[in-house]
Every structure is written in C-alpha cells, then in structure tokens.
C-alpha cells in the first residue's frame, strides 16, 4: 500500500476518525550518529486504527504524527509478567524489521494493548472469517462459499457449487442455476437492460469527491443473505454525479424473474492499482419494478443514513396490445409510461423473428422527453455454430446529436482451433509415410548410400513421431472441450501447432438517429511462430530459408531434388484430375449422354498429353542406373535359408506401422492393401486392411510407441554403419568391401534383437483374412449395381498409396513402356467415345510426337508386328531377348497414300452402336488400363524423387527438415486463424450477392496487423509471421453447401498436399446461388507491422527496423494492386471508392516519411480493409495486452467515423472498454487475473492512444 504524509496526519488528527485503541505509552526511539548509537524513551500518545499504529510527537492527543507502524508479520511478546523498573514492558517482533519496545503504566493497560494489536492484523481477520464460515457450514450443512468484498475479482460463484448447495438442502425448492458462459444465447432478447447513474454521493472526511463504481448483486433463491455478483460498472474518478457507460442485462436463461431481488452497491475506490474500495451504501429493488418503470430513482442507504441516490434507466420489451384488446382479467393493460413505443427488432432480422410483434420503450437522461429510441438485438445468424463460450458487455454512449449509441461487445472462442491443426497434421503424417515408402522402395543399398538411406529413414521417422504426438495431444485437448490455447502456455511444445489465444472480437453498434447499424469483426491471435521455452533465437524463417538457399547453391543436385518433387506433385494432381474426368464420363455413359462426353474427352486427352511430357527421360535413366548399380541383389535360393537383414526387418516393421493415413481414408481409401515388401518363395497375398467406419484404427499412443521403437532401431543401425566406415582401412579391395557389406546386412547386433518384428504386431489393427488380388470390375455383372468402392471412385484412387510404390525387390518399369501404355489406353478410350458420339470415322490421335525407333537391351524392334489391342503392357515375365514389340508410331493416312483408306479404326472394329446397350461396360476396361498405367508412372516418379534426395548432402536434408517443421507449425496457426475468420464471415452475418461475386472474381482481402518489435525473440516472431502469411496465398478455398446435420455444426475440410492445399468451406444452403455453380477463390494477404513498446524505441534507434519498413512497403504495393482489381469489379459506392483512393495516397505518404512508431499506417490499413469488406486480424506476442489496446482503439475509431461518437468522449470510452470490456475478460482467461502485463516503466513508451488506464495493468505474466 502507498501512503503520503498529509493523509496520515489528516487521518490521525481528524475528530471524525474512530480509533480502536488509544492511550499514553512510553516508546523507545533509536538515535544514531556517525560513531554512536543510543536509545531514548519518550512518552507519546498512540492511536490504533485497523492495522496502523500511530505514534504522535508527544503526549498531547492533538499533536502531529511522528511515526506509523503497519502491524503485519509481527507478534507481541511479554518477557516479564511483573512490573519492571521502567514499567510494564511488551515488545513487537517484526519479521523483517527490528523489534519495537513499548512500556505501559499498568498491567491491565498492557494486556489491552496486546489484545488490540493481535486482533489488528489482516492475518487474524482472515482467520476469524474462516472460523465464521466453518460455523455457518456446520449449522446450515452447506459448502463454503466465497464471501466478503470481491468486486476486484469479478468472478461469480461457480454454478456447480450453488447446485450442490441446493441438493444438500432437504426442504428447499428447486432453484434455477445461472448458466456459464458456454450456455449464453446471444440471440436471446433480454428481459431488461439498465443504464445507471448516481447523484449526491457523499465526500470523504477530507472533502474529496469519491471514485464511484456500482456493483449489481443477485440474491440467491432460497437464501436470505447470500448475494452473487452479476455485473458491475466501470470506475469514474472524482465525481459525485457519475453517469456510467456500462449497462446491465438481465435474461431469463440466467434465472431472472420479476421477483428476483437485486442489490446495487455503490463503492468508493480509494486506490486503483489494488482496487481498494470502501462501500458507500446500497439500494435493493425487485427486477419486476425495474421492468415496469423506465426511470427509477432510489436512495442509497447505509448504516450512517442516506448517502445519495442511484438512478436506473431501463428499457424492456413487452407484448404489443392492440387497441381495444384487454388482458386476461378483462381489464385494460396498465399504463406504463408516456414514453414512445418502438419495435425491438430491425427489418429483416431473423435471430429474433418471434419477437417481431413485440414493442418496448426506452427513456434516457440525455434525450428530450418526446424523442423515442429504437432498440435492436443484433442479428447473430449462425455465429454460435462456429464460435463458442461468448462473453458479452454492453454500453450506452451518446452521439454528437444527443442520440444514444448502443454498443455490444462480444468475445468468442473459435470451435475450429483444435479441428484444423488435426487435419493438417493428418496430411503431413501421410506425406511422411509416403516418403518412408519411397526410401524403402529403393531396396537395400550398398556402401555409403546405405548410411545415407538410413539417415533419411531416421529423419522421417522422427518427423512422423513428432507429428503423431502433436496430433494426439490436440485430440486430448479437444476431448476436454477446450477451444483456445492460453498465452501462459505458449511455450508448451506439445501444443505448438495451435494458435495462441485465438479469439473472435465482435462489436455491434447502432445509432438509431442515423439509421445505421453494423458489425466489426476482428480475429485476435498470438504471433504465428514456434516459441522456444529457453528463449533461444534462430533468426526466424526468413533467415533459415536464406541459409537453405545458400546451401542449395552449393549443392549441384539441389535443383534436381526440387524439380523431382514438383514433378511428383504434378503427376499426382494430373492423375487425380484424369480420374475425376473418367468418373464423369462413366456417369454420362450410363445415361447415354453423347453430347456432353466429347468436351470431357478433350480435357482428358489434354491432361494426359501434359502428364506424358512431365518427366525428362535422361533424369529417369540416371536414377534407374543408380538403383541398378548400388542395390544389393539377393539370390532367390538364399531367401529362405539366410536370416533377414536389418534393413529388411526395418522395412517389414514399416508395413506394420500401417503406412497409410487412417485419418484420410474417407477420401483416399486403397482398393487393396500394399503387398508384402519382402515376399518369400510364394506369390504375395493381398491383405484387405481398407478402412471402413466399422474398423477402428489403432490408437495414437500405440502408433507413437511403435514409431519410437523403430526409430531407435534405425538410429542404432545407422551408428553401427558409421562406426564400420570409420574403422575400415583406407585401402580395401572390391572383394573385401563386398564381403563386409554382406556381413553387415546378414547379422543383427544385440541392440536390434531387443526389437523383434512381433513387437508391433499387437499394436496394429487386427488384420482380416487374407484375400487374393481380385479386380472389382470383374465381379460386376451386367445389371448389378456398382460397389461403393468401385475402381473409378475418385476419392479412392486419387491419393491411394497402396500400389503406388515399388517394392524393394521390384525392378523399375522403363519409362517409355509406361508412356506407351498410357498412350494406347487413351487412344482406345478416345476412339470408343467418338464411336458412341457418332464420329466413327475419326482417326486415332497421337499424344506424343513420333520418335525414331529405339533399341533397349532386352527389347527388339521389328517392323512386322503392330501394336496390339490396348492391353496393359507389363514388365516382361519371360526372358527379355524373346520379347519383341513394335514401338513405332502407327502409319497415318498421309504416309500410306497407296493403301486403301479404311473407315474407322482398330479400336472400334466389331462394335455395333445399335447392339451396344451398356456404354459404361465398353469404356471400363480402357479406363482400368489407363489407371494402372498412371499408377506405374507415379511409382517411377516417386522412385526418381527418392534417388535425387538420397544424393543430396545430409546436412542439407537436416536443415530442410527443421525448416519444414517450423514452417508447418507457423502455417498451422495462420491457416487456423484464417479459416476461423472466413467461417465467421460466412456464418456470422448475412451473405449478399455482391460479396459472393467478390469471392468468385477476386477473393477476399486478409489484413494482418502486427504489433511486434524487431528486437530479441520478437524479431524471430515477425520473420515467422511474414512467411506464414505469405504461404496462405497458395491455399485454395471452395464453398460447399451445408445440408442436414452438417449445417448444425459446420466443419471445414482440408485436402491436398503441402504444396497444394484446398479447404472446403461449408456455407448455409440458402446462401449459394441455385444454379449449382461452385465458388472457388484464393485470398490476398497483407501484413503491416509497427512496434509500439519500449523495445521498439531501442530497435528504431539502432536501425533494426529496415526490414520492417521494406516489408510494409511491399505489402502496400500488394494492397494497391488488390484495390485496382477491386475497383474494376464495380463493387461498393462511389464515395467508398474515393475514400479508398485517398487512404492509399495518404498511406504512401506515411510510408515514405518513415516516422518512429507511425501507427497511422495501421489505422489507414484498417480503414481500407473495412471499406473493401476484408478480413481483419490483430496480433502481438500473446494477443492479450498490446492487441487489447489496438482492438479497443479500432472500435472507438469506428464509432467516431461511422456512428458520430464525439471525439472528446473517446478517451473515456477507451478507458471503459479496456478496463471493463471483453479484452479484460480475455486477460482473465489467459493468466487468471484482471491485469494487463504492462509495467509502469513501459507505459510511457507506448503511443498515447495505446496506453492502458491506471489500475488496469501491473506486474503480471505475459
């Protein structure tokens, strides 16, 4: 506590002060000099009030104060019960201070002083209160409750505790328990909403005006003296006639009825930092009285008598009574007030459609008696379907025209906080499993390449374990019903994929005089970064990517690795699109729709032509030669005789880990299971482990343990290989090297025997009986219905990893052979489609340019043979020298002029259109062959990619893995925040056609506002945010209709790969146009950052903000380009366009000025984003303190700009929103206290409009 001399003297000398004990005592004073110290005993008049002991200068009761002792952490001690020569002595022993000695004139006086001092401390008072609680519990058989003055906490009594009390009472009636924030219905019409003001409040003994605050408490039903705090107003300083901006709402769902008794207590807050307050008095009234009166003035009573008045200005809806209509008892309705009636819902409001016929009235102090005010409950649409746990605060402000501005501030948590990171982790888990398959598909390599191969296996197993563990942790959090990650645990690595403190801040405002109302939605979230618990700095993603780029420049094959990866992804994407086109063609063929088939056929031919030209034959040949040179080939007769090598045991256990993602199986289900990687003697049997809703996938914990044990085996084996290479002699013959290689893979060290293959078997999903590989299409009869998992199921084939990898013992198929199979299948399919469409005489197409005859070892080219009917051309089963194929292009009509022209072509010979009833049955064989050929092309592509990665430097692989993991963490947080904002826009407000047109033709603008400082670890955060926000521009979004149960709990769905993600956003069914067209779009993200704290001042002084200025300028150019495209669409009004143009010009001027802490750049970007209907995000390190200041400032700026809030009222409105609004609730949810984490030394460095009000900040956890 802080004291000053004048107040202490006034308190001690005031005749109105009542002291607990006073009298004459002999006090021992210590007098010290430079070389001497002595004790002097002086008679002084002492006064005790509370825990303060005043010692006056002399024995005159009216003398000034000489010293004050705070009686805390002390105890009294009497050494001698008898009288000493000096008198009756007692000592005060303090914990951290010297002992003070007092002498009284009698034994009774000494005992009285000792007793009074012992009862004066707060510790004794708390002990007495606890004893009183125990007595109350013992008599009433209730649980202990929080008692006393808790206005600084603002936390209501837990509902569970209240319910338990009611259950313990035998004869008490049932009580409605106040719901928690999760149960609050934002669309509910309140029974009553009240604005408060006071007048004639008393001053204190020094003539100082009070600092009033009003607390509303509710009497618990069935109790006589138990009051629960319901709401409170803000604090006003130094006034006897406060008019509070905060209003109080009473709703039926909270248990309020007309008979509910309310107590309005007025407190004088003496000290704002600790919220030390003194109660002035209270007034009690029933809620029904407030509801029936528009203006109620009550006296504030106290034990000292009346101490002012409190005025309740209320409005409440009531059922409209038509003229001549009577009430139930036959009497006309009682008159309520002369105030004008008004509607309680705006036109077109759907959230309160049941109240469209209701009327209510409102009277405020600031308005003339005849002026009516409209009240509208904001239309929330489906807000609570995508958000949860709302916290609500309402205000009543006054405009410059004297009208009321109704403001409702809501804080919500996103339901998607834990859902979207799980979907992303599933995609990344699937990717790591694919890479493991690629590496193991190369087979066991010899020499140095085997060590590199094991390094890659170990790296991917580590990432697989980290991703799986992170997903398991998030699943546990989701099961607990948690929707946000507190800022106090932002360094917890187990939850690093979740965004920090993700919340939706919504402000609804209405000025009925201007006929204007609207929403302001801001998503507040912590910086998109990977927090380090030890505070280590790495420079952020920008620096790491620059280092990786320099590494790649030093590596000769770095470009090949990237090109191979891009080619694999392009192959997968084209394969998926071709499969989708074939599926559509089958549907058209089953309906015999010939007119629509040829456009789809042309698209399929075009995409197939692109697919055939992706891979460069020379690169494929290099990779195949590398595999043939370094793969260890085991003789077939030794397969059953020799023990399995460590590499083969590892790859067998990889299959036990189920190298397919169970989480993606609903859209990537393989037809059959992957075959045994190491077959022994007999043809492999296909295990049917396809996912089905009835089959439960293995638990994450079991998978993680299996991955961890397998990773340990790989690591041990890798260390063993490294030790062998280091211990080998410098000169070895080829024979010695070969014998050593054979020895290393034929024997297992002791460390690996502890990990048998059977260890992971109980952890895997139970495997059904083995099935032979059966083509599902052969089971299909002529008139039978196609099975649900048909071979042309797009979702089944497009991403299936089951048959798209080579086994370690499988020879790669030549690329030309694969391409020839694809070309022949497409030619056959295209000719059949033309035949069905009446174009029977059309010649066959060519997908590639004719090439000269090629010779390859094992293949003989003869001119006599023609290309047979388009069967799937597989790898040769018989000796290569006996196989003869004609790989020459077919002669065209121009080349064979002398030959007779034959109508049609060989693919359609024998077909009769009149006799062909099932077109789909004719097309299906060619489609099946094309699918198998594309699968083999993807196999080859993945093998090429793994070879290129193996040839890359090991250190470069490790650096890229660490960068990828950090980038995934940041991107997961950014995408979760973005999708939450999009779902808020799609479900939380009405969608008009102009917005849908903007989505389709342009895509929305996403403005990220940063308040980070480019100093220390926040510089790394800024770097991570730049990359994460930039990555969002590559994500595609598609709007899909939400029907049935999906509309009740809409959940987005993420598909694709790391390079090509697509998010499907469900929207209300009535919002999309009825023509069936889908809307796909991408966002345009912009990121402006300005540091505002004390460290930002230092960063600007030493010149560390140059990168920030360059980034802000680049984002300004992107914003200007977006505005140019937005203007061409003709959206918005002419005035809005002119305002946008002037805003951008002014922003350019501010950027060129490059001023210190130029927050005007942020404000201009906010206005531009709002005018173009963009998405808003505000971030700092934890989205709690600086973010709270920025969000409340933006809300007030909107109120000034759009709703005519006078500028002179902005500071008080800002202070109210920051101290009593939802941003303080956000602080309480994160760190458990109502204090912003600003130190008093940091506040002066903040810009004036970003400073928190006095008393709302202190030393707290950030």
1193 has pLDDT over 90:
yes
| pLDDT for res 1250 | 95
Q: Are residues 198 and 312 in the same domain?
A: yes
- The reply to whether 87 falls in a domain is yes
Q: What is the pLDDT of residues 1001-1040, one digit of tens each?
A: 999 999 999 999 999 899 999 999 999 999 999 999 999 9
- The reply to whether 615 falls in a domain is no
Q: Are residues 197 and 310 in the same domain?
A: yes
**Last residue within a domain, chosen from 288, 316, 344:** 316
751 has pLDDT over 80:
no
Residues contacting residue 360 through CB under 8 Å, at least 6 positions apart = 315, 316, 317, 318, 341, 342, 344, 375
| pLDDT for res 417 | 94
- The reply to whether 493 falls in a domain is no
| pLDDT for res 47 | 92
486 has pLDDT over 70:
yes
Q: What is the pLDDT of residues 1086-1107, one digit of tens each?
A: 999 999 998 999 998 888 899 9
Least confident of 126-135, 147-156, 824-833: 147-156
- Using pLDDT thresholds of 50, 70 and 90, give the confidence band for residue 813: confident
- Higher pLDDT: 50 or 206? It is 50
- Using pLDDT thresholds of 50, 70 and 90, give the confidence band for residue 427: very high
Please tell me the total count of domains within the chain: 2
3-state class (DSSP) for residue 194? strand
For 251, list phi and psi in degrees, rounded to 5.
Answer: -120, 150
Dihedral of the alpha carbons of 1179, 1182, 1188, 1191, in degrees to the nearest 10: 10
Burial of 1158 by CB count in 10 Å (0-12 exposed, 13-18 middle, 19+ buried)? middle
Q: What is the pLDDT of residues 1053-1071, one digit of tens each?
A: 999 888 889 999 999 888 8
Q: Distance between the two ends of the chain, CA-based, in angstroms?
A: 24
The Cα-based distances of 91 to 69, 98, 441, 683, 1225 in angstroms read 13, 10, 86, 97, 47
Separation between Cα atoms, residue 179 and residue 897, nearest integer Å: 89
Separation between Cα atoms, residue 969 and residue 497, nearest integer Å: 5
Q: Are residues 214 and 310 in the same domain?
A: yes
CB 1163 within 8 A of CB 1197: yes
| pLDDT for res 15 | 80
Read off the pLDDT of each residue in 842-868 and give the average, rounded to a whole number.
43
Q: Which of 120-124, 594-598, 702-706, 1224-1228 has maximum average pLDDT?
A: 1224-1228
Burial code (b: 16+ CB inside 10 Å, e: under 16) for 1112-1129 equals beebbeebeebbeebeee
| pLDDT for res 140 | 63
Read off the pLDDT of each residue in 502-528 and give the average, rounded to a whole number.
91
Strand ranges across the sheet with 276-286: 227-232, 212-219, 261-271, 276-286
**CB neighbours of residue 133 within 10 Å:** 15
Q: Are residues 112 and 203 in the same domain?
A: no
1232: left (phi over 0), alpha (psi -120 to 50) or beta: left
| pLDDT for res 768 | 34
| pLDDT for res 604 | 86
Q: Which of 513-527, 678-692, 878-892 has maximum average pLDDT?
A: 513-527
pTM metric for this prediction = 0.74
- Using pLDDT thresholds of 50, 70 and 90, give the confidence band for residue 356: very low
- Using pLDDT thresholds of 50, 70 and 90, give the confidence band for residue 62: confident
Q: Are residues 114 and 201 in the same domain?
A: no
| pLDDT for res 880 | 36
579 has pLDDT over 50:
yes
Among 811, 807, 803, 454, smallest CA distance to 650 is for: 454
Percent of the chain residues topping a pLDDT of 70: 71
Burial of 21 by CB count in 10 Å (0-12 exposed, 13-18 middle, 19+ buried)? middle
Among 71, 114, 69, 112, smallest CA distance to 91 is for: 114
| pLDDT for res 1137 | 80
703 has pLDDT over 90:
no
Separation between Cα atoms, residue 740 and residue 1032, nearest integer Å: 51
| pLDDT for res 834 | 79
623 Cα distance to chain centroid: 42
45 has pLDDT over 80:
yes
Least confident of 79-83, 1099-1103, 1105-1109, 1147-1151: 79-83
| pLDDT for res 1039 | 93
| pLDDT for res 3 | 54
Read off the pLDDT of each residue in 432-455 and give the average, rounded to a whole number.
84
Read off the pLDDT of each residue in 1209-1223 and give the average, rounded to a whole number.
94
Least confident of 337-351, 397-411, 740-754, 968-982: 337-351
Dihedral of the alpha carbons of 156, 157, 162, 164, in degrees to the nearest 10: 130
CATH number assigned to the domain comprising residue 230 = 2.60.40.150
CATH number assigned to the domain comprising residue 84 = 2.30.29.30
Q: Are residues 38 and 122 in the same domain?
A: yes
- What residues pair up with 229 in beta bridges, in sequence order? 217
Side-chain half-sphere CA neighbours of 716 within 13 A = 16
Least confident of 391-395, 840-844, 968-972, 1206-1210: 840-844
Least confident of 294-308, 440-454, 754-768: 754-768
Read off the pLDDT of each residue in 402-416 and give the average, rounded to a whole number.
90
Q: Are residues 117 and 207 in the same domain?
A: no
| pLDDT for res 152 | 36
Separation between Cα atoms, residue 293 and residue 298, nearest integer Å: 12
Least confident of 62-71, 811-820, 1150-1159: 811-820
- The reply to whether 91 falls in a domain is yes
**Last residue within a domain, chosen from 316, 334, 349:** 316
Least confident of 356-360, 497-501, 908-912, 1249-1253: 356-360
Q: What is the pLDDT of residues 268-286, one digit of tens each?
A: 998 887 788 889 999 999 9
Separation between Cα atoms, residue 782 and residue 924, nearest integer Å: 12
- The reply to whether 267 falls in a domain is yes
Dihedral of the alpha carbons of 287, 371, 398, 316, in degrees to the nearest 10: 20
- The reply to whether 214 falls in a domain is yes
| pLDDT for res 594 | 75
542 has pLDDT over 90:
yes
The Cα-based distances of 26 to 8, 102, 104, 849 in angstroms read 21, 6, 6, 116
737 has pLDDT over 50:
no
- Using pLDDT thresholds of 50, 70 and 90, give the confidence band for residue 36: low
Strands 1175-1179 and 1084-1089, how do they pair? unpaired
**Last residue within a domain, chosen from 94, 126, 158:** 126
Q: Are residues 200 and 100 in the same domain?
A: no
Q: At what angle do helices 1106-1129 and 1134-1153 cross, to 10 degrees?
A: 160
68 has pLDDT over 80:
yes
- The reply to whether 290 falls in a domain is yes
215 has pLDDT over 60:
yes
Which domain covers residue 109, as residue numbers? 5-126
Alpha helices (runs of H) in 32-154, residue ranges in sequence order? 107-118, 122-140
Side-chain half-sphere CA neighbours of 211 within 13 A = 13
- Higher pLDDT: 894 or 30? It is 30
**Residue with tokens 């030394």, as numbered in its chain:** 1241
Separation between Cα atoms, residue 171 and residue 149, nearest integer Å: 30
- Using pLDDT thresholds of 50, 70 and 90, give the confidence band for residue 620: confident
- The reply to whether 1214 falls in a domain is no
Q: What is the pLDDT of residues 1044-1055, one digit of tens each?
A: 888 888 999 999
Q: At what angle do helices 993-1001 and 1106-1129 cross, to 10 degrees?
A: 120
479 has pLDDT over 50:
yes
Burial code (b: 16+ CB inside 10 Å, e: under 16) for 865-896 equals eebeebeebeebeeeeeeeebbbbbbeeeeee
> What does the mean pLDDT of the chain come to?
76
1185 has pLDDT over 80:
yes
């Amino acid at each position: 506590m802080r004291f000053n001399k004048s107040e202490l003297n006034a308190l001690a000398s005031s005749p109105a002060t009542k002291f607990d004990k006073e009298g004459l005592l002999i006090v021992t004073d210590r007098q010290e000099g430079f070389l001497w110290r002595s004790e002097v005993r002086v008679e002084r008049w002492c006064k005790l009030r509370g825990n303060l002991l005043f010692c006056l200068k002399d024995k005159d009761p009216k003398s000034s104060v000489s010293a004050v002792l705070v009686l805390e952490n002390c105890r009294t001690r009497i050494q001698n019960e008898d009288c000493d020569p000096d008198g009756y002595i007692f000592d005060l022993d303090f914990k951290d201070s010297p002992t003070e000695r007092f002498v009284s004139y009698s034994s009774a006086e000494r005992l009285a002083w000792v007793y009074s001092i012992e009862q004066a401390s707060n510790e004794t008072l708390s002990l007495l209160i606890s004893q009183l609680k125990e007595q109350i519990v013992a008599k009433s058989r209730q649980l202990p409750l929080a008692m006393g003055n808790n206005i600084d906490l603002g936390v209501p009594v837990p509902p569970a505790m209240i319910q338990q009390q009611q259950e313990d009472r035998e004869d008490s009636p049932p009580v409605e328990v106040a719901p928690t924030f999760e149960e609050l219905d934002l669309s509910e019409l309140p029974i009553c909403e009240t604005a408060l003001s006071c007048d004639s409040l008393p001053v204190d003994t020094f003539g100082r005006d009070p600092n009033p605050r009003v607390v509303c408490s509710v009497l618990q039903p069935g109790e006589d003296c138990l009051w629960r705090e319901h709401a409170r107003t803000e604090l006003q300083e130094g006034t006897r006639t406060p008019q509070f901006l905060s209003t109080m709402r009473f709703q039926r769902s909270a248990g309020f009825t007309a008979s509910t008794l309310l107590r309005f207590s007025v407190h004088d807050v003496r000290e704002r930092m600790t919220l030390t307050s003194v109660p002035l008095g209270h007034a009690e009234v029933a809620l029904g009285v407030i509801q029936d009166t528009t203006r109620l003035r009550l006296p504030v009573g106290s034990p000292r008598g009346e101490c002012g008045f409190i005025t309740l200005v209320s409005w409440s809806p009531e059922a409209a009574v038509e003229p001549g209509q009577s009430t139930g008892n036959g009497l006309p309705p009682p008159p309520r007030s002369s105030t004008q009636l008004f509607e309680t819902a705006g036109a077109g409001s759907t959230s309160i459609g049941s109240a469209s016929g209701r009327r209510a009235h409102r009277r405020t102090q600031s308005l003339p008696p005849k002026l009516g005010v409209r009240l509208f409950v904001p239309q929330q649409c489906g807000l609570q379907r995508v958000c949860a746990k709302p916290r609500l605060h309402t205000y009543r402000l006054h405009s410059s025209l004297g009208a009321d501005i109704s403001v409702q501030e809501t804080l919500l948590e996103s339901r998607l906080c834990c859902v979207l990171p799980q979907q992303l982790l599933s995609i990344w888990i699937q990717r790591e499993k694919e890479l493991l398959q690629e590496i193991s598909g190369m087979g066991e390599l010899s020499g140095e390449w085997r060590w590199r191969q094991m390094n890659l296996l170990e790296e991917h197993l580590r990432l697989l374990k980290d991703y799986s563990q992170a997903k398991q942790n998030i699943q546990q959090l989701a099961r607990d019903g948690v929707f946000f990650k507190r800022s106090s645990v932002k360094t917890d690595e187990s939850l690093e994929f979740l965004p920090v403190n993700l919340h939706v801040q919504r402000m609804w405002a209405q000025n009925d005089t201007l006929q204007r109302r609207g929403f302001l939605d801001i998503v507040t979230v912590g910086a998109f970064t990977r927090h380090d618990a030890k505070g280590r700095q790495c420079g952020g993603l920008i620096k790491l990517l620059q280092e990786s780029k320099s590494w790649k420049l030093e590596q000769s094959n770095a470009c090949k690795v990237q090109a191979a990866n891009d080619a694999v992804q392009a192959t997968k994407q084209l394969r998926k699109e071709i499969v989708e086109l074939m599926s559509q063609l089958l549907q058209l063929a089953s309906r015999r729709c010939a007119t629509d088939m040829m456009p789809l056929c042309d698209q399929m031919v075009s995409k197939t032509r692109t697919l055939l030209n992706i891979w460069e034959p020379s690169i494929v040949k290099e990779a195949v030669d590398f595999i043939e040179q370094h793969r260890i080939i085991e003789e077939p007769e030794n397969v059953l005789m020799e023990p399995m090598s460590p590499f083969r045991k590892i790859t067998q256990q990889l299959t036990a880990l189920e190298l397919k993602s169970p989480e993606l199986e609903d859209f990537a289900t393989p037809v059959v299971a992957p075959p045994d990687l190491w077959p022994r003697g007999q043809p492999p049997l296909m295990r049917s482990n396809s996912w089905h809703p009835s089959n439960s996938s293995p638990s994450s914990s079991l998978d993680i343990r299996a991955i961890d044990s397998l990773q340990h085996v790989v690591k041990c084996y890798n260390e063993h290989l490294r030790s062998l290479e280091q211990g080998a002699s410098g000169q070895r013959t080829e024979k010695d090297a070969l014998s050593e290689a054979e020895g290393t893979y034929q024997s297992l060290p002791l460390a690996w025997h502890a990990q048998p293959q059977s260890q992971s078997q109980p952890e895997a999903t139970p495997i059904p009986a083995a099935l032979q590989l059966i083509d599902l299409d052969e089971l299909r009869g002529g008139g039978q219905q196609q099975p649900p998992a048909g071979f042309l199921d797009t979702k089944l084939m497009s991403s299936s990893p089951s048959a798209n990898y080579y086994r370690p013992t499988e020879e790669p198929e030549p690329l030309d052979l694969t391409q020839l199979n694809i070309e022949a299948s497409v030619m056959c399919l295209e000719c059949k489609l033309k035949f069905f469409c009446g174009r029977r005489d059309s010649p066959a197409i060519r997908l590639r340019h004719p090439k000269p005859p090629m010779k390859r070892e094992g293949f003989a080219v003869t001119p006599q043979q023609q290309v047979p009917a388009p069967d799937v051309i597989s790898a040769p089963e018989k000796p290569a020298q006996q196989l003869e194929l004609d790989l020459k292009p077919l002669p065209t009509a121009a080349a064979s002029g002398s030959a007779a022209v034959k109508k049609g072509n060989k693919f359609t010979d024998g077909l009769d259109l009149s006799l062909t009833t099932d077109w789909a049955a004719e097309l299906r064989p060619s489609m099946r062959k094309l699918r198998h050929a594309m699968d083999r092309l993807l196999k080859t592509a993945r093998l090429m990619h793994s070879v290129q990665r193996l040839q890359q430097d090991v250190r470069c692989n490790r650096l890229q893995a660490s960068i990828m993991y950090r980038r995934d963490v940041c991107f997961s947080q950014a995408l979760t925040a973005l999708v939450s904002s999009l779902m808020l826009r799609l479900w939380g407000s009405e969608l008009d056609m102009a917005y849908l047109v903007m989505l389709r033709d342009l895509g929305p603008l996403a403005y990220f506002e940063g308040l980070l400082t480019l100093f220390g670890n926040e510089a790394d955060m800024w770097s991570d945010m730049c990359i994460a926000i930039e990555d969002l521009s590559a994500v595609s979004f598609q709007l899909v209709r939400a029907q049935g149960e999906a509309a009740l709990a809409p959940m987005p769905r993420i598909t694709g790969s790391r390079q090509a993600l697509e998010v499907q956003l469900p929207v209300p069914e009535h919002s999309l146009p009825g023509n069936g067209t889908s809307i796909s779009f991408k966002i345009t993200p912009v990121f402006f950052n300005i540091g505002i704290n004390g460290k930002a001042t230092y960063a600007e002084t030493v010149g560390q903000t140059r990168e920030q200025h360059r980034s802000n300028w680049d984002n300004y150019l992107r914003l200007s380009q977006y505005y140019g495209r937005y203007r061409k669409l003709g959206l918005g009004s002419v005035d809005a366009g002119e305002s946008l143009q002037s805003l951008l010009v002014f922003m350019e001027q501010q950027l060129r000025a490059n001023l210190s802490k130029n927050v005007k750049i942020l404000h201009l970007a906010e206005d531009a984003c709002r005018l173009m209907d963009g998405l808003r995000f505000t971030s700092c390190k934890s989205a709690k303190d600086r973010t709270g200041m920025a969000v409340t400032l933006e809300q007030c700026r909107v109120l000034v700009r759009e709703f005519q809030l006078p500028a002179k009222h902005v500071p008080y409105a800002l202070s109210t929103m920051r101290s009593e609004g939802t941003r303080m609730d956000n602080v309480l949810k994160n760190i458990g206290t109502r204090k912003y984490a600003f130190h008093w030394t940091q506040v002066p460095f903040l810009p004036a409009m970003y400073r928190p009000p006095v008393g709302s900040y202190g030393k707290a956890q950030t």
